[in-house]
């Protein structure tokens, strides 16, 4: 039997002695945490497919994809397979899945679309700015999750305490999932949802109380047909409970995004000032005249 014992190479990665002696390169793309990351992407795409008219299936697939976010981190630590590719894959998956869900909410609640568009922009901008500032100011070997005290106690706790990070991310996603479910069930939030059968919707004499979309809309994929297809799919009690319970954490998570954006901007500005000082900028006008 081959020797399965492992040892660490110069980069701190674990490889088998036989591979190390043979000079074989590790396939980063097949690391266990990255395989979990790929499964998250597949589940996210599947949830998007069911999102327009199948709320329960979509919510299940989306939730499993989000929960695997914690599993890939555990696997990375367990098997010593933490990689930069995995970190970027994880962040990109998080940002894209959340953005896609918010895009649906913007279409489901058009009056509040500016709010969801703002949340998408804030989420993408704050995380991109934070990661760029970490790489450019902290060095290429610096992780975006390594935050010191100078960035504030809230940011440090958010990124260094895995329990806090998981709780914030999970409840943040739970709020948007609950809001997504309410778009199928709550006439209070979606007044366009069909009324009960005791209030007949008679478009013409002899039409049924709740006509099929095919009787009204030429295309089953039109906005009106999709709206009717998702109407009154479920009871709104549980989604309301989930939304109310998770709202405070979601709101605080958006505040953290703002803080993250501001701190990253300040960090980049510090680097710009140091770089300009190193280059002797701004040059004095007298020196500028001499060079002309």
* Element containing residue 15 per DSSP (H, E): strand 14-15
148-158 burial by CB neighbour count: b if 16+ within 10 A, else e? eeebbebbeeb
* Element containing residue 215 per DSSP (H, E): helix 213-216
Residue 133, φ and ψ in degrees, nearest 5? -65, -40
**Omega within 30 of 0 (cis) for the link into 282:** yes
Task: Find, among 78, 128, 71, the residue nearest to 99 by Cα.
Answer: 128
> What is residue 198's three-state secondary structure?
coil
> Which residues are known catalytic residues?
94
Residue 276, φ and ψ in degrees, nearest 5? -65, -35
DSSP for 68-107, written as a single string: HHHHHHHHHHHTT---HHHHHHHHHHHHHHHHHHHHHHHH
164-184 burial by CB neighbour count: b if 16+ within 10 A, else e? ebeebbbbbbbbbbbbbbbbb
């Amino acid at each position: 039997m081959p020797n399965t014992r492992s040892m660490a190479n110069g980069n701190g990665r674990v490889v088998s002695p036989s591979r190390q002696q043979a000079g074989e390169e590790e396939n980063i793309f097949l690391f266990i945490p990255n395989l979990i990351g790929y499964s998250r992407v597949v589940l996210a795409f599947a949830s998007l497919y069911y999102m327009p008219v199948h709320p329960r299936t979509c919510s299940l697939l989306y939730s499993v994809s989000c929960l695997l976010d914690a599993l890939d981190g555990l696997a990375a630590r367990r098997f010593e397979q933490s990689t930069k590719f995995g970190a970027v894959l994880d962040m990109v998956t998080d940002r894209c899945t959340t953005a896609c869900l918010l895009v649906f909410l913007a279409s489901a609640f058009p009056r509040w679309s500016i709010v969801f568009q703002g949340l998408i922009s804030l989420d993408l901008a704050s995380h991109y700015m934070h990661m760029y500032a970490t790489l450019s100011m902290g060095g290429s070997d610096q992780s975006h999750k390594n935050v010191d005290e100078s960035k504030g106690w809230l940011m440090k706790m958010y990124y260094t305490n895995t329990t806090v990070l998981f709780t914030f991310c999970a409840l943040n996603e739970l709020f948007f999932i609950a809001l997504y479910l309410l778009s199928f069930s709550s006439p209070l939030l979606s007044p366009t949802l069909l009324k009960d059968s005791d209030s007949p919707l008679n478009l013409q004499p002899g039409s049924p109380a709740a006509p099929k979309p095919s009787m009204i809309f030429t295309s089953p994929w039109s906005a009106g047909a999709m709206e009717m297809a998702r109407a009154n799919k479920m009871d709104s009690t549980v989604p309301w409970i989930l939304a109310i319970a998770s709202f405070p954490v979601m709101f605080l998570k958006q505040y953290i995004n703002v803080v993250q954006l501001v701190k990253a901007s300040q960090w980049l500005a510090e680097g710009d000032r140091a770089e300009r000082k190193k280059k002797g900028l701004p040059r004095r006008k007298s020196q500028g005249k001499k060079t002309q």
